[in-house]
Every structure is written in C-alpha cells, then in structure tokens.
C-alpha cells in the first residue's frame, strides 16, 4: 500500500505539477486520472520551464506515466506534446501508457466548447465538457474503439462530418494509432501489477477541488472528478490501496474563468498578487483572478478529499506584503458560515471574515529548511495547520524544483 493521490485544494493552478515532479523522484509510476488538455502543469528544473497538458509531470524524472480511463484525450494534441518533449530531449514513448478506456476528443467537441455554454462558463475551449457529455450519454468514442472497432468509428464520423473532414479526421486517428498503438493498455491491470510489487504510484490530479463536477462551484466547474475519488474511478485502482492524499494549495487563492470567488481582490493588492505570482493561465494565457487564502475552502477540500497532509506553494509571493489576510468564515445574511455552501448564488453573496497576519517582509526564496523561515511566516503556516488539523508536508518557495522545503 504505497499509492499517493495529489489533488488541487482550490480552483486549480495550485502548483501540483511541481509537487508531483518533486515527489516523482521516489515513485515509479505517475497517473493522470481525469481531465485532458485543459490542464496546464508547469515544472521548472534548473531554470528550464516545461508546461504539460496531457502527459503527467513525472515524465521529466523518466518514470512510467499513465493516462487513465477518466481522461479525455485529444489525439492530435497528445502527439504534439510528445513530439515537443522528445525534441527537447525527454524520452516519452518508452514510458507512456494510455488507457484503452479513455475517451477521445474530436474536432466537433472543440467547436461546441468554444461557443454557447462553454463561452458563458469561461471554459478552456478544449472540448472537455462536450466530450464528457457524450461519454455519459454512452455515445463516446474510446481509445479501444480505435484498435478494435473501426466500422463503429467510421459510421460515427460519417454522421458528424463532411466527406472532406471525414477523410482528414480518419487520417489523423490512423496516424495516432500508428504512433501509439503499443502504448495502449488496460491501465487497471498494469497498476495492480505495480502495486503487488510494492512499486510507488502517484496519482496526479488536474484542476482542483472547487472545479470538481460534483463538489465544485457548479455550474462553474470542469466536467470531471478532480477530487481524490476521481483517482480511483479514473484509473481502476482500489481505495484500500491508497496510503496518502496530499492537497496542494497556494498561499493565496486564484481562479480562472467565471464564477463566485469570495476573497477575490479587485484592487491593487489583487494585481500585485497576479504580477508577482505570474498568474496567467498555462493553457489559455488568461489573467487569473487573485485573492487571499480562504480556510473555508481548504477545510472543505480536507473533508471531500480526505487529505492527510498539505503542500503549500508560492509562499514566496507573499514576501513583501506588509499585512496578509486569511478568510476564516463567511458572513451571509446575518449568519456566520464556516462550511462551504453548495449554491453558487449563496457563495456570490458571502462576505469573507478575515484574520490578519503581519507580513514577514523578507526574501524566503533561498530558504531550504523550515526552521530558518522568519517567525511571521511560521505563524502563518501554524495557523493553517491548526485550522485544518493536518500537517504541512511540503513548502514551495519558488518555481524551481530546488526551491522546495520538505518538512
């Protein structure tokens, strides 16, 4: 029993890629279990930046990397990502495995996602929602269909596309199969074999708790299970084999796209967080909305994911704030809410109640030991730990792999 799930505790972009990359040193397998090219996981090693969309961040450590059945895969985007990584000197096909049960994103999903509802919700326009909708309607096309069911694919494509588009798409799918056929496997079986041999498996969540289709700020969410439960359904791995669930949270809060955000700072402090934190979407380049840390959200993330510890990222971004605030509860219609509400309408009307902390006003980006952190930084972290009743296991004080404190 040595599997770990790593999940985003906020609205995504918490720095999961960096944490997975850091922990992947001691693992043998890294599994993506939900989402698709909507994710943008950034990893910096010795100043060199790599952004992953579909491939698990563990590939930089040359570990076995798996795309689980819970994912939706755009075949062309995957080939492009593999090519870019291989051209930059990272071997990918030797280590990559793709679930035969994952669903495929086709061009009409992308067209649909870039208009109407997708636009209103501020999606990434990658075809994610329309593809999952087809999956749930039991009309989707899976990776296994490419291998075993060409007649089904052909009639499906003929019903959706013009003859010219049909020819192009079938050619693209054949190319995908030619390049990656050997990498298509039964993921559940492979993971069970690894687990029996006590090999360490990391499940790499994409997006975050509040973007989860069930537990997030519906309808302003993604279409997959971004919480810890998704790691199981999205890979075919059993719950009894999970040893740890690590939540990744930024030292403040961000969100992209539409939807309520109680601690959002629509002032110069929000702009300062955005500029210092480089808060622009890794997939779409959109500026992220920024605000103070929200403990109502983190307590909720602890509960729905069963977190056993926390990784706090981007702590250095708060270095020159004279005062730092943390929301500990919401005021709503004369009442105090300490639990995260289900309704986006209610959340929209919640006013954050803040605790104030003195800033440390020091550069912490070169510190590598927790005991060397300034007193006010320790007070900030102690408050988070006490409030969540779980330990902070990792502290990230910069983008680079080296800028990490293991507590």
Give the interface with ligand IMP as residue ranges (CB under 6 A): 12-13, 38-40, 121-124, 126, 128-129, 206-207, 211, 220, 222-223, 256-257
> Exposure pattern of 327-338 as b/e (b: 16+ CB <10 Å)?
bbbbeeeeeebe
Report which DSSP code applies to 391. -
140 to 37, 136, 231: CA distances (angstroms): 17, 8, 21
Least distance (Å) between residue 119 CB and ligand IMP? 11
Least distance (Å) between residue 199 CB and ligand IMP? 28
* Residue of this chain nearest to ligand IMP (CB atom): 257
309 within 8 A of 298, measured Cβ to Cβ:
no
What are the residues whose beta carbons fall under 8 Å from the beta carbon of 147, sequence distance 6 or more?
Answer: 100, 177, 181, 184
Q: Which of 172, 44, 150, 34 is nearest to 103 (CA)?
A: 34
For ligand IMP, which is the closer residue by CB, 262 or 377? 262
Least distance (Å) between residue 256 CB and ligand IMP? 4
Three-state DSSP state, 157: helix
Does the annotation mark 13 as catalytic? yes
What are the residues whose beta carbons fall under 8 Å from the beta carbon of 80, sequence distance 6 or more?
Answer: none
Least distance (Å) between residue 325 CB and ligand IMP? 23
Q: Which of 55, 75, 54 is nearest to 157 (CA)?
A: 75
For ligand IMP, which is the closer residue by CB, 13 or 100? 13
Least distance (Å) between residue 33 CB and ligand IMP? 14
For ligand IMP, which is the closer residue by CB, 285 or 375? 285
Give CA–CA dist 163/273, Å, rounded.
50
| Radius of gyration of the chain from its Cα atoms, rounded to whole angstroms | 21
Residue whose structure tokens are 């929200």: 294
Least distance (Å) between residue 208 CB and ligand IMP? 7
Does the annotation mark 108 as catalytic? no
Q: What are phi and psi of 100, to 5 degrees?
A: -70, -15
H or E segment to which residue 84 belongs? helix 75-87
Q: What share of the chain is helix, strand, coil (3-state, %, to 5)?
A: 40, 25, 40
For ligand IMP, which is the closer residue by CB, 183 or 283? 283
Length of the chain as a residue count: 407
For ligand IMP, which is the closer residue by CB, 70 or 257? 257
For ligand IMP, which is the closer residue by CB, 34 or 183? 34
Active-site residue numbers? 13, 41
């Amino acid at each position: 029993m040595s599997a770990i799930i790593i999940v985003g505790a906020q609205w995504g972009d918490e720095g999961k890629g960096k944490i997975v990359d850091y922990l992947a040193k001691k693992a043998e397998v890294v599994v993506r279990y939900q989402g698709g090219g909507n994710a943008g996981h950034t990893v910096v090693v010795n100043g060199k930046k790599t952004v992953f969309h579909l491939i698990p961040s563990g590939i930089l450590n040359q570990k076995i990397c798996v795309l689980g059945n819970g994912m939706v895969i755009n075949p062309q985007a995957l080939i492009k990502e593999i090519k870019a990584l291989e051209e930059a000197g990272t071997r990918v096909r030797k280590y990559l495995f793709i679930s035969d049960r994952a669903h495929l994103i086709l061009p009409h999903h992308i067209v649909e996602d870039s208009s109407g509802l997708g636009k209103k919700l501020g999606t990434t326009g990658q075809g994610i929602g329309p593809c999952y909708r087809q999956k749930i309607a039991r009309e989707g096309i899976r990776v296994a269909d490419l291998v075993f069911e060409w007649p089904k694919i052909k009639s499906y494509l003929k019903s959706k596309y013009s003859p010219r588009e049909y020819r192009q798409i079938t050619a693209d799918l054949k190319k995908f199969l030619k390049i990656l056929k050997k990498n298509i496997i039964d993921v559940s079986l492979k993971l069970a074999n690894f687990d029996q041999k006590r090999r360490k498996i990391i499940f790499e969540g994409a997006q975050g708790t509040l973007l989860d289709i069930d537990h997030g700020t519906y309808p302003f969410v993604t279409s997959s299970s971004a919480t810890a439960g998704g790691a199981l359904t999205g890979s075919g791995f059993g719950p009894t084999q999970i040893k740890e669930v690590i939540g990744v949270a930024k030292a403040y809060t961000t969100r992209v796209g539409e939807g309520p955000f109680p601690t959002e700072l629509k002032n110069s402090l929000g702009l300062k967080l955005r500029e210092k934190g480089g808060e622009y979407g890794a997939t779409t380049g959109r500026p992220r909305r920024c605000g103070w840390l929200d403990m109502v959200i983190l307590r909720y993330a602890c509960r729905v994911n069963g977190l056993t510890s926390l990784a706090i990222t981007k702590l250095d971004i708060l270095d020159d704030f004279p005062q730092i605030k943390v929301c500990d509860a919401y005021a709503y219609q004369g009442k105090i809410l300490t639990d995260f509400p289900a309704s986006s309408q209610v959340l929209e009307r919640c006013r954050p109640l803040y605790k104030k902390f003195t800033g440390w006003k020091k550069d912490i980006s070169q510190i590598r030991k927790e005991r060397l952190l300034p007193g006010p930084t320790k007070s900030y972290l102690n408050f988070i730990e006490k409030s969540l009743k779980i330990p902070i296991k990792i502290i990230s004080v910069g983008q680079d792999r080296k800028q990490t404190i293991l507590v």
